[in-house]
């Protein structure tokens, strides 16, 4: 269609250059394009005007909205979208890999490859289905295999499961590709998430056998015998003709495909007879064992720089390192020399588009020249570049070589490269910086910070040293924002990826911050720091803006696999942590196996206990007792640091047990008080609020110099009963004591506005208008401070909600999605965030927005906590402590979203957590039991 190409080129110029058609389908034509600003190839999908019926236009716009909504590593993302004149178009990355259909044409794939592709696609479907999106057209042609990953594409006919989802498909209309449709779709029935599982099952069968799957004979024994044995059970469960008998969701299918799953009742019963011996033996073996090295799948690279000269030439190795260093910060996909040093040319060609080697030749007196050869991946020579230099100035020589390479290979990035590279740093500074990189990669953040600080001290102009020093400080949960803001001023707006990362980190609005990170992650896909910080933001604060924890887990998981120069131990710590919290045993064990910790790392043992404490308590309980019995002073110190984040792996039982042990073995009142505070939050998650309040009172007595802790004991009495939908019932006398104590806080205290706010929302809930008005007036008088002004708007949002004005309530409470300095969080009150998010979900329900309510109520999946909570319980601890109530509220709304399976998983977990709940939870437990009637046993 040359006329369509010309029209598109005219409409998109100069933002995008349109080159040639790549393919066409029912929902549009795809052209190869180029983004000249960012120097990258893109795919541009356009809906031809002649196909633009009302339904087609709406489907095309739907695909655009869906792709923008479905940010996931295994879903083809969207860069840009517009309606220009008569043309509807959007821009996606150019996927260099082949489609799965092209792979299948060459014959069946190995079992391991089928499992890998299936796992990636099921993770994509887990994410899509959680957002209420059903693909409806899964087939090999819609799957791209890009290096080590599979990506799901073409959501053009996806079913968005909302109130308007029936406007595009008439009754009985079959939409999709017939040979991959489920039986219910072929019969004209509505597609569900299990329809997607069926289509994926057919797709994986074709991948495993290399031929079309015969759906008409799918029950025949011979048909199943044609499949490799390791795949049969998983695929049989996906291809049941009756949807009700298929895997209940994508996660179940994925666990079956990867061989995961729970122990059977019989196996547990047999194991119980020898549990104590087995547990101690297993834990002893775990502590004595160094994990075996696991091959790391590297992402495809733009460029690898190998050692120059002979293999024994130290100067050549140093010069190669000084050449690769400046390019790491401007050319996406350069493999740092510290990771490429042991490669041969042949092995480098397997992982990179370009391979650089070099030989030295003699020059003038005291001078030499480096002759650089650049090879393509097929082994052909692309360039030969001669760079003269002075052996006495290897850093300057290496920077000159890097400049020549960028000029020849990446001319559109030359300005950015020169701006970022700047003046070559001092050699000693660069060597100290490289030491810091090695230490950071090994998870030794404190030592890494010291080496980066040394580099900065030697050469104060070395921007990268300052930047990495602050990242290492951030990883230790130490203050870094003020110095980061000074660095942002120093760097200015023209430093490419550094400016973008600084702007993202300093952006207080969490939605805008995540949008910045998402853009950077798409633009600099192979930049280690971009991937690390993006994953960290998704994992830590993504749930605060409705991005589920699974996104953060997947971001860390994929980054750790693809980019070995990342902080590997920490990345796998996060994936294990997140998988345990999400209840995914197979993923948790896989990631724990992949975690290659340095010798003596105590976190390996803690993670082992976290995994087994969540999934195999019969094994973990005696192992935990053995660990505590044999703990030395170093282990006790680690437990003190870790005990208060146990709720963030959804394991209050072990947190309670370890905190009780630590209380007995504490050496100071502060240690004892922190252990008691850990008991209090664990009891709150276990449905024991009266015991929890008693423990918080004890903690306040022990840590007598913490005014926030003294205040929080009264806040619990007043605010916990105000949770929406599922209130915590406390005695009237306890609530009255809390109110009286909050009134005693003097107005000279920095915590006085926090006490007044608690009294205000309590008055609003009791419809005490006189008290509400007087207290609001007191708050407004102090609203000159930003955090106090926020407290005023939050109180006003509760008043609006009480007046049945949920739209106004949501608008007023919008500022809860902003980041605050740690000091202001304490002054605002750690319980405020949980209370506001819980009510925001209730206000969304009042507006008949169940999906939006669910997005608010997943806030509790965040990991926005310090590495070592100290003093009063922090907001991240309280978010986790109240998560059981949030899960009950979510489960109540999920049947409306056709997510009954997920609702049952949440209800079953709440049932387990509240097994020993206090009598005040009797009504809540009854609600859980009633809802579980619809769940399979």
Which residues are catalytically annotated? 137
Q: Is 375 helix (H, G, I), strand (E, B) or coil?
A: strand
641: part of which helix (H) or strand (E)? helix 633-642
CA–CA gap between residue 450 and residue 453 (Å, rounded): 5
For 134-195, what is the HEC assignment? ECCCCCHHHEEEECCEEEECCCCCCEECCCCCCCCCCCCCCCCCHHHCCHHHHCCCCCCHHH
Q: Which of 438, 458, 460 is nearest to 447 (CA)?
A: 438
Phi and psi for 194 in degrees, rounded to 5? -75, -20
626 CB neighbour count, 10 Å cutoff: 18
Pair 686, 709: CB distance under 8 Å: no
Helices (H), 804-849: 806-812, 822-828, 831-846
45: part of which helix (H) or strand (E)? strand 40-47
Q: Which of 154, 161, 160 is nearest to 180 (CA)?
A: 154
- Longest CA–CA span in the chain (Å) reads 92
Q: Which of 573, 517, 571 is nearest to 542 (CA)?
A: 517
Torsion of CA 257, 259, 260, 264, to 10 degrees: 120
Taking the CA of residue 714 as centre, how many other CA atoms within 13 Å lie in the half-sphere pointing to its CB? 23
Q: Which of 684, 703, 695 is nearest to 877 (CA)?
A: 684
CA–CA gap between residue 891 and residue 900 (Å, rounded): 8
For 663-706, what is the HEC assignment? HHHCCCHHHHHHHHHHHHHHHHHCCCHHHHHHHHHHHHHHCCCC
* DSSP assignment of 712-741: HHHHHHHHGGG-SSSPPP--HHHHHHHHHH
Pair 588, 656: CB distance under 8 Å: no
CA–CA gap between residue 167 and residue 456 (Å, rounded): 61
- Here the tokens at position 57 are 């236009």
Residues 6+ apart with CB under 8 A from 767: 802
Q: Is 252 helix (H, G, I), strand (E, B) or coil?
A: helix
Q: Which of 280, 301, 393, 365 is nearest to 621 (CA)?
A: 280
* DSSP assignment of 3-15: HHHHHHHHHHTTT
Q: Which of 26, 39, 2, 1 is nearest to 16 (CA)?
A: 39
Radius of gyration of the chain (CA): 29
Long-range contacts made by residues 374-378, C-beta under 8 angstroms, separation at least 24? Answer: 374/405, 374/408, 374/409, 375/345, 375/349, 377/349, 377/350, 377/352, 377/353, 378/349
Beta strands 40-47 and 87-93: pairing type?
antiparallel
Sheet arrangement for strand 40-47: 17-25, 28-35, 40-47, 87-93, 80-84
CA–CA gap between residue 186 and residue 194 (Å, rounded): 14
Q: Which residue do the tokens 């995540």 mark?
A: 514
| Total residues belonging to the chain | 937
């Amino acid at each position: 269609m040359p006329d369509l190409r010309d029209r598109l080129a005219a409409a998109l110029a100069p933002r995008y250059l349109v080159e040639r058609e790549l393919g066409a389908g029912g929902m549009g034509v795809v052209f190869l394009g180029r983004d000249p600003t960012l120097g990258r190839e893109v795919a541009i999908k356009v809906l031809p005007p002649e196909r633009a019926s009302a339904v087609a236009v709406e489907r095309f716009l739907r695909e655009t909205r869906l792709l923008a909504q479905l940010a996931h590593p295994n879903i083809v993302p969207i860069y840009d979208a517009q309606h220009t004149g008569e043309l509807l178009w959007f821009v996606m990355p150019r996927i260099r890999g082949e489609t799965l259909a092209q792979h299948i044409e060459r014959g069946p794939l190995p079992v391991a490859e089928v499992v890998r592709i299936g796992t990636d696609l099921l993770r994509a479907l887990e994410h899509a289905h959680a957002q209420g999106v059903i693909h409806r057209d899964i087939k090999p042609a819609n799957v791209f295999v890009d290096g080590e990953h599979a990506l799901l594409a073409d959501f053009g006919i996806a079913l968005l499961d909302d109130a308007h989802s029936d406007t595009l498909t008439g009754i009985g209309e079959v939409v999709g590709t017939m040979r991959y449709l489920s039986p219910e779709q072929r019969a004209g029935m509505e597609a569900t998430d299990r329809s997607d599982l069926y289509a994926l099952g057919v797709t994986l069968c074709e991948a495993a056998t290399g031929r079309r799957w015969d759906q008409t004979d799918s029950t025949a024994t011979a048909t199943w015998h044609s499949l490799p044995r390791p795949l049969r059970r998983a695929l049989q469960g996906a291809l049941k003709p009756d949807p009700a008998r298929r895997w209940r969701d994508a996660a179940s299918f994925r666990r079956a495909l990867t061989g995961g799953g729970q122990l059977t009742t019989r196996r547990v019963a047999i194991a119980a007879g020898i549990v104590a011996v087995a547990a101690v033996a297993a834990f002893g073996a775990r502590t004595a064992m160094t994990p075996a090295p696991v091959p790391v799948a590297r992402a495809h690279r733009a460029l690898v720089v190998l050692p120059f000269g002979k293999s024994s030439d130290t100067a050549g190795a140093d010069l190669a390192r000084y050449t690769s260093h400046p390019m790491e910060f401007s050319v996406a996909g350069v493999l740092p020399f510290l990771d490429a040093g042991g490669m041969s040319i042949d092995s480098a060609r397997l992982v990179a588009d370009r391979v650089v080697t070099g030989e030295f030749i003699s020059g003038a007196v005291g001078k030499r020249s480096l002759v650089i050869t650049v090879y393509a991946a097929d082994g052909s020579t692309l360039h030969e570049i001669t760079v003269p230099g002075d052996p006495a100035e290897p850093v300057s020589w290496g920077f000159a070589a890097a400049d020549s390479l960028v000029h020849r290979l990446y001319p559109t990035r030359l300005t950015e490269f020169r701006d970022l590279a700047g003046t070559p740093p001092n050699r000693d500074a660069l060597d100290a910086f490289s030491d810091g990189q090695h230490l950071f990669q090994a998870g030794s953040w404190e030592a890494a910070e010291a080496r980066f600080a040394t580099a900065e001290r030697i050469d104060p102009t070395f921007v990268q040293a300052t930047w990495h020093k602050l990242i290492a400080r951030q990883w230790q949960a130490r203050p870094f924002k003020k110095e980061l803001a000074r660095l942002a001023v120093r760097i200015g707006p023209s430093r490419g990826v550094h400016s973008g990362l600084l702007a993202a980190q300093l952006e207080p609005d969490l939605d805008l911050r995540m949008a910045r990170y998402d853009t950077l992650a798409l633009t600099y896909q192979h930049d280690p720091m971009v991937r690390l910080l993006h994953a960290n933001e998704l994992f830590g604060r993504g749930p605060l803006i409705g991005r589920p924890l699974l996104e953060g887990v997947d971001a860390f998981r994929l980054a750790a696999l693809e980019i070995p120069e990342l902080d590997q131990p920490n990345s796998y710590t996060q994936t294990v942590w997140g998988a345990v919290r999400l209840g995914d045993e197979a993923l948790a064990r896989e990631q724990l196996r992949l975690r290659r910790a340095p010798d003596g790392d105590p976190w390996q043992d803690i993670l082992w206990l976290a995994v087994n404490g969540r999934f195999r308590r019969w094994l973990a309980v005696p192992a935990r007792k053995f660990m505590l019995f044999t703990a030395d002073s170093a282990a006790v110190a680690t437990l003190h640091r870790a005990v208060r984040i146990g709720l963030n792996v959804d394991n209050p039982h072990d947190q309670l047990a370890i905190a009780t042990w630590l209380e007995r073995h504490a050496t100071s009142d502060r240690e004892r008080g922190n252990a008691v505070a850990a008991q209090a939050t664990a009891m709150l998650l276990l449905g024991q609020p009266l015991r929890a309040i008693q423990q918080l009172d004890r903690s306040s007595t022990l840590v007598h110099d913490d005014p926030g802790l003294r205040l929080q004991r009264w806040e619990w009495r007043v605010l916990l009963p105000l949770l929406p939908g599922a209130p915590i019932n406390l005695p009237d006398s306890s609530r009255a004591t809390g109110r009286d104590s909050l009134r005693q806080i003097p107005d000279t205290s920095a915590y006085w506005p926090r006490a007044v706010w608690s009294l205000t929302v309590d008055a609003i809930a009791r419809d005490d208008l006189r008290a509400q008005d007087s207290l609001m007036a007191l708050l407004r008088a102090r609203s000159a401070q930003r955090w106090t002004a926020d407290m005023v708007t939050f109180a006003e949002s509760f008043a609006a909600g009480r007046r049945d004005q949920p739209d106004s309530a949501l608008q007023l409470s919008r500022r809860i999605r902003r980041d605050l300095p740690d000091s202001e969080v304490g002054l605002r009150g750690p319980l405020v965030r949980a209370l506001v998010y819980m009510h925001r979900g209730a206000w969304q329900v009042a507006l008949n927005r169940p999906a939006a309510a669910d997005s608010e109520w997943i806030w509790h999946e965040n990991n926005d906590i310090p590495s070592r909570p100290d003093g009063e319980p922090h907001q991240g601890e309280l978010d986790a402590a109240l998560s059981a109530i949030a899960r009950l509220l979510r489960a109540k709304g999920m049947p409306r979203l056709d997510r009954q399976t997920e609702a049952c998983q949440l209800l079953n977990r709440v049932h387990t957590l509240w097994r020993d709940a206090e009598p005040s939870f009797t009504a809540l437990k009854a609600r859980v039991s009633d809802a579980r009637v619809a769940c399979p046993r």
